[in-house]
Amino acid sequence: MKTQEELESAIRQAYNQAESWNDYLGTIRVRLLKAYNGEPYGNEREGRSRIVMTDVRDTVSAVLPSLMRAFFGSQKAVEFVPNDPSQAEIAEQATDYVTYVLRQDNPGFVELYRWFKDALIGGIGVLKVWWESDNSVKKYEFSGLDPTAAALIQQETSVSPDVSIQISSQDKTGLSGTVMYRNRNEGVRIRAVPPEEFLIEPGAVHLNECKYAAHRTLQTISDLVALGYDREKLLEHATNQSRTDVFGQERIYRWGNLLQDELNPIDDSQRYVLYVEHYVLIDSDDDGIAERHRICTIGEDMEIVNDEVVDEIPFVVVMCDPEPHQLVGSSLAERVEDVQRIRTAVVRGVLDSLSQAIVPRIAVVEGQASLADVLNTDVGAPIRMAAPGMVAPLATPFVGKEAIPLLGYLDEVKENRTGVTKAAVGLDPDSLQSATQAAVAATVKGAQERVELLARLFAESGVAPLYRLIYRLLYRNQRAQRVVRLRGRWVPVNPSSWVSDLQVSVLVGIGEATIQERIQTLLGLAAKIEKLLEMLGPSNPIVPVRGYRDLLAEAAEMSGIYNTGKFFPPVTPQAEQAMAEAASKPDPEKEVATMVAQVQVEQIKADISMKQAELKLKEQDVQLKHEREMKQMAVEAELKMAELKMKYEIEKEKLRNANASSEG
């Protein structure tokens, strides 16, 4: 087992290595921050354009709204998944309560915005998550207090253990003493950590598997004494360095010299001490297996003041573009930084060419014209010359128009690298004016794919572990029941009754359907479920009433209605059983209605039979009439034929007689 001196030496060595690695990453982050802020490149010339394009800022600003909408919009970004059917209610309540802790107990929107922004610019964002238990005490002295008032205070102390009163003396004016109020403030806290405060071993790939990570801060002696540390020992390790000296160039760039006044604190309580939380793997019990230790040190010599075994590192990192076998990935700013530099050079050249074309240089014959008049650029100002032609403009044609296509090409390069197009930030009416609806939808979906991929990476690498870490902190530390408003209803929550761990499922991107399409799909399913419930009843093997309620609630949440419990209260198993029993019980009114309906059905069947018989008789009558008419027509035809045959014979006989007479 290591001695304290050996352990402190090992801690200092690991700290120095991690600090050197962070300094190297800090140079990259400072360069990207300068590009984000549009800082000059240092190659500017007097009398020339000094414009700096802000492609990095524009790209980051275009992506952030979509990311924040994905995690704080109407849809759930992540949710807890039960390990078996008995944990379904726990998983649903845990999802709602962890979201409540993130958004209501903490400034979740602001902290996640900073977290994401650090990753988009610097390649990695760090969020610290811990359980805070702050028992602050406020002490008030009183004198001349009336005994009746003192009795009321004593009564309050008997009701609330957080209030105590101590009587020190009593005289003619009244009672004297002190009242102490203890404020219990505990819960999960989250804060985005500046990159320069977070240290990790070089070559780390996964945060929870790294051998060393640390969080370094400069804390005042007052803050550390409140945590229980010895004041005299803290004074020995108080530093005269400012925060810009301790944290290097990143803090210097962010704050400049604004923090140098820390060298002259008001009193000793406001002096600063380097306080570092080291999370290191060491074998403290000599069993051959290293355990994760949280070792707190003060001062630059890393004197250990606290050492405890912990289960995990209280940090969550999010990466914009993870690189293989590395913890720190590349950032969105890195993809655009060189494009910004090139665009800056091109735009500067265009503006310089335009300026020279508008205000050309002047050629002057020395001594033959007034230089003061020549240098006067007022419109219509005269120029005094000794003779005509002593002053002539050197016309310079504007050549910037040849550079305009290059700017368009650079825009295409930026869009291909980042996926941030005009369709992603807002449709361009000119480019989509004559496009079909299908073409517009394809353009929008194509632009959203890169942002959805980024949201998925953030969810998998950061937000899902964040939910899991908050869940574990609540399960281990919150012992008292708390009543909070979830889904529009006041619900008692006691995390200690949950299971030890639940899986987290990521719900954001990547998908083909838009929110409106998903809502329409859900509503279509709801219509089919309504028919099934009407046909099969509330207790059926296909879909329960609870599923129908959850489907409607999810459609409402997608539409932006968060308090769905106000409109669709959760259906408990007891309520489902009651509905099934009510559906199975005989209802006299329903039975009478059923009998009446059956009689009506029989009557309708009889009417239909009668109608069918009448129709059959009518068909027979028509058939007989048709047959009679056909027979009559046949007889008439035979008679007509006989009559025609008789006439033919008569005419034939007449013709024969006529021929015989002519021969005689």
Q: Sheet with 174-193: list strands edge to edge.
A: 163-171, 174-193, 124-145, 315-319
What is the model's pLDDT at position 76? Answer: 81
- List the beta bridge partners of residue 170: 175
In degrees, rounded to 5, the angle at the alpha carbon of residue 508 between the alpha carbons of residues 506 and 512 is 125
Place of tokens 């050079």: 345
Task: Locate 161 and state its tokens.
Answer: 């253990």
Q: What are phi and psi of 266, to 5 degrees?
A: -65, -45
CA 652 to mean position of chain CA atoms: 112
Q: What are phi and psi of 402, to 5 degrees?
A: -70, -20
d(Cα 574, Cα 570) in Å, to the nearest integer?
11
* Contact by Cβ (8 Å): 459, 77: yes
User: Does the structure show a pLDDT above 70 at 585?
Assistant: no
CA 226 to mean position of chain CA atoms: 36
- 569: which DSSP letter? -
What is the model's pLDDT at position 619? Answer: 85
Average pLDDT over residues 296-322: 91
What is the model's pLDDT at position 451? Answer: 83
Closest CA to 117 of 56, 160, 167: 56
Closest CA to 108 of 51, 36, 163, 189: 189
What is the model's pLDDT at position 431? Answer: 45
d(Cα 404, Cα 396) in Å, to the nearest integer?
18
Q: 291-298 and 489-493 as β-strands: parallel, antiparallel, unpaired?
A: unpaired
Residue 207: Cβ within 10 Å count: 18
Task: Locate 260 and state its tokens.
Answer: 């140098």
Average pLDDT over residues 595-600: 76
What is the model's pLDDT at position 443? Answer: 53
- List the beta bridge partners of residue 293: 280, 309
1 band by pLDDT with thresholds 50, 70 and 90: low
* pLDDT tens-digit series, residues 188-244: 999 999 999 999 999 898 988 899 999 999 888 988 988 888 889 989 888 766 555
What is the model's pLDDT at position 432? Answer: 45
What's the burial of 244, exposed, middle or buried (CB within 10 Å: 0-12/13-18/19+)?
A: buried
Of residues 18 and 564, more confidently modeled: 18
d(Cα 281, Cα 291) in Å, to the nearest integer?
5
* Contact by Cβ (8 Å): 360, 353: no
d(Cα 244, Cα 250) in Å, to the nearest integer?
8
Residues 6+ apart with CB under 8 A from 285: 1, 291
DSSP-derived 3-state class of residue 328: coil
**Axis crossing angle, helix 55-72 with helix 404-418, rounded to the nearest 10:** 30
Peptide bond into 608 cis (omega under 30): no
* pLDDT tens-digit series, residues 313-341: 999 999 888 888 888 888 999 999 999 99
d(Cα 538, Cα 245) in Å, to the nearest integer?
70
User: Does the structure show a pLDDT above 80 at 483?
Assistant: yes
**In terms of residues, how long is the chain?**
664
HEC letters along 380-418? CCCCCECCCCCEEEECCCCCHHHHHHHHHHHHHHHHHHH
Average pLDDT over residues 52-73: 91
* Contact by Cβ (8 Å): 198, 215: yes
Task: Locate 13 and state its tokens.
Answer: 């060595």
Q: What are phi and psi of 183, to 5 degrees?
A: -100, 115
User: Does the structure show a pLDDT above 70 at 657?
Assistant: yes
**Mean pLDDT lowest for which of 103-112, 149-158, 317-326, 468-477?**
149-158
Q: 238-239 and 174-193 as β-strands: parallel, antiparallel, unpaired?
A: unpaired
What's the burial of 78, exposed, middle or buried (CB within 10 Å: 0-12/13-18/19+)?
A: buried
d(Cα 327, Cα 25) in Å, to the nearest integer?
12
Closest CA to 403 of 354, 338, 336: 354
What is the model's pLDDT at position 156? Answer: 61
d(Cα 66, Cα 148) in Å, to the nearest integer?
62
429 band by pLDDT with thresholds 50, 70 and 90: very low
What is the model's pLDDT at position 430? Answer: 47
**Axis crossing angle, helix 573-584 with helix 545-558, rounded to the nearest 10:** 130
Q: 482-486 and 391-394 as β-strands: parallel, antiparallel, unpaired?
A: unpaired
* pLDDT tens-digit series, residues 239-283: 766 555 677 778 777 776 555 545 566 788 888 899 999 999 988
d(Cα 474, Cα 468) in Å, to the nearest integer?
10
Closest CA to 447 of 470, 482, 421: 421
Of residues 121 and 552, more confidently modeled: 121
* 151, HSE (Cβ side, Cα atoms, 13 Å): 3
What is the model's pLDDT at position 21? Answer: 92
